[in-house]
Amino acid sequence: MTKVNIKKSILVRVRVAFLCVLIFAVCVAAKIGHIQLVEGDKWAKLSEEINFDYKKVKATRGNIYSDNGSLLATSLPFYKVAIDPTLAKSETFKAGVDSLSYLLARYYKDRPSSEYKQMLKDARAAGKQYIVLNRKQINYQTKKEMMTWPIFREGRYKGGVIFEKMDVRYRPFSNLSRRTVGFVNEDGKGAGLEYSFDAVLGGQDGEALFQKIAGGTWKPVFDGNNTKAVDGLDIHTTIDINLQDVAETSLYRAMKLHNADEGTVVVMEVKTGHIKAISNLSSDGHGEFYEKFNHAVGGSIEPGSTFKLVTMIALLEDTNLQLGDSINTGNGEYTFYNRKVKDHHEGGFGKISVQQAFELSSNVAMAKLTDKYFGTKPSKFIEHVDRLKLSKPLGLQVTGEAYPKMTRPSDKNWSGITLPWMAYGYGLEITPLHTLTLYNAVANDGKMIKPVFVTAVSKADKVKQDFETEPITGKICSNKTLNQLRLLLEGVVESGTAMNLKNAHYRIAGKTGTAQILQNGRYEKRYITSFVGYFPAHAPKYSAIVLIKNPRGFYQYGNNVAGPVFKDIADNIYSRDINLHLAMEKKQSLEPGVFPIIRAGKQDELTMLSNELGVSNHSATEEEWIKAAKNGSSVVWKKNAVVKDHVPDVLGMTFRDAVYLLEKSGLRVSFEGKGRVTNQSLPPGTRISKGSIINLRLG
């Protein structure tokens, strides 16, 4: 016999038993003259009103935690207060009804105590076994207080009080990360982590026998066949609640300042792919903003100039193009099949290097180079887009991910301008998380990994399931290309379109983007501004993307709308994370007249010179290039590391040594003054491109 049939059989037996008891009671009452036996048709009607059924008992929903164990969402017990006024003894009811009515009126403030008293007395006189005192739900603390009130203090079976528990979802941090945490409606629809992990968080509902009583109300009845609810499991997210607060606040300020329509920001940990902060804001049309839609996950848009990184990967991997090669951008306009490509810089850039074309974000240069090398074989370019996983969903833990849109050479709408336009980010649509995942791969030594929102599922302290960092594809490009990409992205901030983000404490690498908005098949003078990158550039720990749609006012570009939000977040992280700081080298002062004037150079030459002058010296390194440090009355030679593809530190060197070392690294040297190097224009450790110029000041 099935479970359903068993329950039907039980219900039949319960009803029969109840009717038998009722018949017996009626007969006894009739015998002693208290009531008259009812007629058959009235008895049938009475039996129909005695109804039992099994109903669902909701399981308690699991908690959602941040990365440090703070609660992002939890279920708190709330109660609806009802009473069976027939259960209290006569003397208990009479003695307590006045006080109880007064307390109910004082708490709920919806009616006078006299009305509560009359409602209780009328219900008791009518033999009603269940009445709801007020629809307003109370919390656990109020429930504890009410349990001390007259009549209620007698409990469920002697006082008749019924506290019907119902779980209400509560977010301790209010609207912080609201859309990412998400929700589930009564109809089962929802968004965010609440919806994506509903099967885990929701648990298993139970079943219990209920009796339908007067007024159509269902009252629980104890039954041995009741199925107990199984509470939901907890999920542990990657969200850093402090960083989330910084990201949301910074984005909100920018949206307010520029009166923008939409905005999103995502911060990701480079090595793990953990999403540490994510905020999505939309205008309410009245000057305020709220989380309406997850643009980072579900917003498919034309990326604009941030897509130029893909173009450079294709060019550097498949051709013999060098960053120092020149490209003529003319006056900033170039015609492809009667359609013009324009640069944002009035008058154009003229003849510039490929590196400058990227750093200055020349659309003309990207379109011309792509057409030159891939115009006859566009499928080769598209292969790079596919290999970089930009043409399919990432397979995120959060539902609602948008599917990228891209035209292929085999499609009917492919034309001669499709590829040149794609070279600078038009004619295809991807999500902000696609773009961030690609840039994160550059920061992560070429390894592309899937963004992670949830790290574990647990029950109390026991982990039920772990979610490890998952690679999406192999290395995105060769080591040579990777070094060149890092150089380009650092150059955007050092000397390109995002120089306003440059600072003295740490280096940012990234790319600006400004894409016109396509509306009804036409591009309007409205923009989606963006900045995506990573920091600190020498040892990336975090990557981030910022997009702000339709800023109004004077500022319309990625560097001055989205860029400041990125820097604001990066500055905050840098100030809080001491591990991101480079150790400051202790300045050594060598006394003039006692120690050699030479501060840095080749170890063998400086050692020989000191020995000739009778100066005590010893070495703390085997390196060829060293710096001098004082130790009592002696000189200690310390390491002055020379790293490939990075600007060497030539401060304190003779001009001869400095020129030798810099030119060996592929730099061209200009100088002013005479003597030893007192200043260098390119900071030590900056990634370099062969042929770049470095200016030295001698003194």
Residues 6+ apart with CB under 8 A from 287: 256, 259
pLDDT band at 219 (very low <50, low <70, confident <90, very high): low
What CA–CA distance (Å, rounded) separates 443 from 535? 8
DSSP 291: -
Neighbours of 274 (CB within 10 A): 22
* 57-209+227-234 CATH: 3.90.1310.10
Range in 118-122, 154-158, 326-330, 503-507 with the lowest mean pLDDT:
503-507
Q: State how far the alpha carbon of 449 is from the alpha carbons of 40, 395, 509, 542, 601, in Å.
A: 76, 11, 19, 13, 43
CB atoms within 10 A of CB 583: 5
Q: What is the mean pLDDT of residues 143-153?
A: 94
**Is CATH 3.30.10.20 the classification given to domain 600-698?**
yes
Q: Residue 90 — φ and ψ, nearest 5°?
A: -60, -45
Q: For residue 35, which amino acid is it?
A: I
Banded model confidence at residue 233, pLDDT cuts 50, 70, 90: very high
Q: Does residue 510 have a pLDDT over 50?
A: yes
- Can you point out the beta strands (E) in 48-130? 51-57, 64-65, 71-83
In DSSP terms, 213 is beta-bridged to 217
Question: Rounded to the nearest 5°, which phi and psi values hold at 517?
Answer: -90, 130
Q: What is the pLDDT of residues 51-105, one digit of tens each?
A: 766 666 778 889 999 999 999 999 888 999 999 999 999 999 999 999 999 999 9
- Tell me which residue has tokens 């959602």: 64
Average pLDDT value for residue range 127-136: 89
CATH assignment of 242-577, given 3.40.50.11810, 3.40.605.10, 3.40.190.10, 3.40.710.10? Answer: 3.40.710.10
Domain residue ranges in the chain: 3-49, 57-209+227-234, 242-577, 600-698
Q: Which residue has the tokens 């100039």?
A: 305
302 near 515, Cβ under 8 Å? yes
Q: Which two tokens stand for residue 672?
A: 């002013």
Cβ 351 vs Cβ 326: under 8 Å: yes
Distance CA 492, CA 504 (A): 16
Q: Which of 339, 343, 427, 338 is nearest to 382 (CA)?
A: 427
pLDDT of residue 521: 65
* Continuous H helices in 476-556: 479-495
In 3-state terms, what secondary structure has residue 385?
helix
The arithmetic mean of pLDDT across residues 597-613, rounded, is 79
Q: Residue 576 pLDDT more than 50?
A: yes
Q: Which residue has the higher pLDDT, 406 or 520?
A: 406
pLDDT at 40 over 60: no
For the chain, give me the number of helices (H) and strands (E)? 21, 33
Residue labelled with tokens 């891209």: 406
Which whole number is the average pLDDT over 168-195?
Answer: 84
Beta-bridge mates of residue 523 = 518
- Token readout for 450 is 């899937």
* pTM summary value: 0.75
Segment (H or E) for 443? helix 432-443
- Give tens-digit pLDDT for 428-468: 999 999 999 999 999 999 999 999 999 999 998 899 999 99
Peptide bond into 77 cis (omega under 30): no
* The predicted structure's pLDDT at residue 23: 47
Q: How many residues does the chain have?
A: 699
CA distances, 552 to each of 258, 301, 520, 529, 639 (Å): 5, 19, 21, 11, 53
**Which phi and psi angles does 658 have, rounded to 5°?**
-65, -45
* pLDDT tens-digit map of 540-566: 999 999 999 999 877 778 888 999 999
Roughly what angle, to the nearest 10 degrees, separates helices 479-495 and 432-443?
Answer: 110
Angle (CA) 261 497 251, round 5°: 30
Could you give the CA distance from residue 238 to residue 181 in angstroms, rounded to a whole number? 11
- Reported as a pLDDT band with limits 50, 70 and 90, residue 686 is confident
Side chain identity at residue 417, one-letter code:
I
Confidence of residue 352 (pLDDT cuts 50, 70, 90): very high
Q: At what angle do helices 308-318 and 363-374 cross, to 10 degrees?
A: 40
Whole-angstrom distance, CA of residue 357 vs CA of residue 369: 10
Mean pLDDT along residues 99-117: 94
Most trustworthy range by pLDDT among 259-263, 504-508, 649-653, 680-684: 259-263
Contact partners, residue 309, CB within 8 Å, separation at least 6: 438, 439, 442, 485, 488, 489, 511
Q: CA-CA distance, 124 to 118, in Å (whole number)?
A: 10
**Position 112 confidence tier, pLDDT thresholds 50, 70, 90:** very high
What are 679's two structure tokens? 């200043």
What is the residue-averaged pLDDT of the chain? 84
How many Å apart are CA 642 and CA 648, to the nearest integer? 6
pLDDT at residue 581 in the model:
74
When pLDDT is cut at 50, 70 and 90, the band that residue 188 belongs to is confident
Mean of pLDDT values over 602-617: 80
DSSP 634-667: EEEEEE----TTB----TT-BHHHHHHHHHHTT-
Judge whether 403 and 434 are in contact, CB under 8 Å.
Answer: no
Residue type, 585: E
CA distances from 504 to 90, 134, 494, 553 (A): 83, 63, 11, 30
Query: Is the pLDDT at 33 greater than 50, yes or no?
Result: no
Taking the C-alpha atoms of residue 392 and residue 390, their distance in angstroms, rounded to an integer, is: 6
Average pLDDT on 263-269 reads: 96
Mean local confidence (pLDDT), 146-161 = 92
> Hey, which of 3-7, 58-62, 166-170, 370-374 has the most confident mean pLDDT?
370-374
Q: Residue 661 and residue 624: Cα distance in Å, rounded?
A: 11
CB within 8 Å of 293: residues ≥ 6 apart: 179, 262, 280, 282, 299
Q: Distance (Å, rounded) from C-alpha 226 to C-alpha 209?
A: 7
**How far is it, in rounded angstroms, from Cα 13 to Cα 225?**
13
pLDDT digits (tens, 9 = 90+) for 645-675: 888 888 888 888 888 888 888 888 877 788 8
Question: For 403, phi and psi rounded to 5 degrees?
Answer: -90, 125
Whether the predicted pLDDT of 586 surpasses 60? no
Residue 683 has pLDDT above 70, yes or no: yes
pLDDT class of 16 with cuts at 50, 70, 90 = very low
Render pLDDT for 385-411 as a digit per residue (tens, 0 to 9). 999 999 999 999 999 999 999 999 999
